[in-house]
Structure 1
Amino acid sequence: MNALASTFSGNLVVLGFPSNQFGHQTQEKDCEVLDLLKHVRPGNGYEPNFPMFSKLDVNGTAESEIFTFLKAALPYPSDDKGGNGADHITDMTVGQPMLWAPIRRSDITWNFEKFLINQEGRPVKRYSPKFPTEDMAADIQALIQNGPNALD
């Protein structure tokens, strides 16, 4: 995300929302998130060049309103990088229990799902966790060059 934020500086705003709903991978306190990124995962001095928010729920009865809005606009990823098609929810054979209820088809399936929102504040594309972040550049460029309806 840092590379995209730098490449499209002035034309793109990146926002990061940590969540602990995926395998309890984000158990640290909000004040520890930046240190974790810098020293552990991904480590090597990484510092996001975009705002990071407090941890929140992205699924279930306590999900944040922003994610209710995003998922209502785009119920599933536009790509098939999750490996099992757009309707893939989870592969329970990996041993990670679902940490929210109810489970909905539109739920975010794992860390690093991404939403692209156009210049008018309308969500226009949702990407699965395995979709390479750098591959979003073509869609971002299309919105910048051709306006908010470029991806319709």
Structure 2
Amino acid sequence: MPKAFLREIISATAIISGAIIGAICSYLIAKSTTNKSVRVQNEIFNESRKLEDNIRRKNTCQYANILQLDICTAIFQSIRSIRNIESNDENKYPIYIPVNTQYSKAIVFLTDNFNLREMSYLYQLYGIIEKINYDIKDLNYNNNKDYK
């Protein structure tokens, strides 16, 4: 065998083995990098999900407290109004029932926690409160008959 042919075979074998070793190393590096990237993305996703759950839980508590405060205030203001009417006091003052204007947003946010009937009751209760407030705004306090 001629020496030139032997050199070409050795050179070709070195090039092919170098390409194979380079391909294997590139594959292992790419695989390792991809696995690390997927692991980091999963950790970020899980942390994001936990954060969203915490925010949702806090918002649920906040909106439930708003609804509770509105309902309790409506009850207490109604009792004060009834006592004021029954006292026959000449210094009658208007009693307005303060209501959160964003109550529908609070109710919609809590739809996962209530069934349809309970949601309907909440809307009806707010409808009654708004009707009472509307009647109080149109009330003539100088006319005793209107007040009663």
Q: State the TM-score bracket (shorter-chain normalisation).
A: under 0.3
When the two structures are superposed, what TM-score results if normalisation uses the length of structure 1? 0.20
Find the structure with the greater CA-based Rg.
2
Question: As a proportion of its length, which structure holds more helix?
Answer: 2
Question: As a proportion of its length, which structure holds more strand?
Answer: 1
When the two structures are superposed, what TM-score results if normalisation uses the length of structure 2? 0.21
